[in-house]
Amino acid sequence: MTAQGKIWTAALVVIGDEILSGRTQDANIHQIARWLQVQGIRLVEVRVVADDMGAIADAVNALRASHDYLFTTGGIGPTHDDITVDAVAQALGVAVTIHPEAREMLAAYYEARGLELTEARLRMARVPEGASLIPNRISGAPGIRHGNVFLMAGVPHITAQMLDGLTGQLEGGAPLLTETVGCWVNESEVAEILRAIEAAHEDCQIGSYPFFREGRVGANFVIRSTNAEVLQSAVDTLCEALGEEGHDFTPGGI
């Protein structure tokens, strides 16, 4: 809790052997985190699991209970190794069923392209019993919502469409605002300054991200808060403190 009220949290389960093997680089963590931030929800935990029923079900049950929302990406396609729906149904203790509206969406999508709705393609209409659908304008195959669990595609541009369909649908708090101050300084030299400023500004967090550039050591300090006035006060205080110590800093980051 903060002075502003409840902090809404989310977790993400990234599913796929191809992610763990290094064959595919995940891009969904970044876009889901940014989307959630705008909704006033903080992504606070991410797990990457293999295409394994037990591993997926265990992660889903652990994270849906400890966070307001749980998202999964990957494993909801037409092939035999797309087992996310089955694993989530197992975790929820419900059966897997063909969603009639999803079947209609897929039938219309493939008919418009002169293609048949095969048994493989029909797999994309399977949902844990009691689920609702998340729209997807690109491939016709919808995402799935069951309570606070959201099953999304693994393909990033399809995930983006599903997120667009969810925009404004989830309850959240105030969006998390951020500002960055860059400085040519070793972060250890200003650690006490950062600690004191964070302690003096309730509902404010400061992250320090060092770098080595142009033969010099520096760091970007990212200040986060849901309160715009608190955020600006922390930024101003940090800039003033860095200036008093004679450090070369740049509002907006380096």
pLDDT for 175 equals: 82
Asked, for residue 201, whether it belongs to a domain, the answer is yes
pLDDT digits (tens, 9 = 90+) for 141-163: 999 999 999 999 999 999 999 99
Strands (E), the chain: 8-15, 41-49, 69-73, 96-98, 126-128, 132-134, 143-146, 149-152, 177-183, 204-213, 216-225, 249-251
Q: Report whether 142 contacts 135 (CB < 8 A).
A: yes
**For residue 209, what is the domain's CATH number?**
3.30.70.600
pLDDT grade for 57, boundaries at 50, 70 and 90: very high
pLDDT grade for 1, boundaries at 50, 70 and 90: very low
Residue 107, CA atoms < 13 Å, CB-side half-sphere: 7
The residue among 141, 149, 134, 147 whose CA lies nearest residue 12 is 149
pTM score above 0.85: no
Whether 13 shows a pLDDT value over 70: the answer reads: yes
Whether 4 shows a pLDDT value over 50: the answer reads: no
Residue 243, Cβ density class (10 Å: 0-12 exposed, 13-18 middle, ≥19 buried): exposed
Calculate the alpha carbon distances from 151 to 42, 218, 238 in Å: 18, 40, 41
- In whole angstroms, give the CA distance from residue 117 to residue 138: 16
Pair 113, 186 in one domain: no
Asked, for residue 3, whether it belongs to a domain, the answer is no
Pair 200, 150 in one domain: no
Residue 143: give the domain boundaries. Answer: 8-166
Pair 185, 121 in one domain: no
Pair 18, 107 in one domain: yes
Whether 128 shows a pLDDT value over 90: the answer reads: yes
Return the H-helix or E-strand segment holding 193: helix 191-200
pLDDT digits (tens, 9 = 90+) for 193-221: 999 999 999 889 999 999 998 899 999 99
Q: Report whether 84 contacts 15 (CB < 8 A).
A: yes
Pair 227, 127 in one domain: no
Pair 63, 158 in one domain: yes
Pair 235, 113 in one domain: no
Pair 107, 211 in one domain: no
pLDDT grade for 140, boundaries at 50, 70 and 90: confident
Query: Which two three-digit tokens encode residue 205?
Result: 């967090």
Domain boundary among 133, 166, 199: 166
Domain boundary among 135, 166, 197: 166
Domain boundary among 101, 131, 166: 166
Pair 88, 135 in one domain: yes
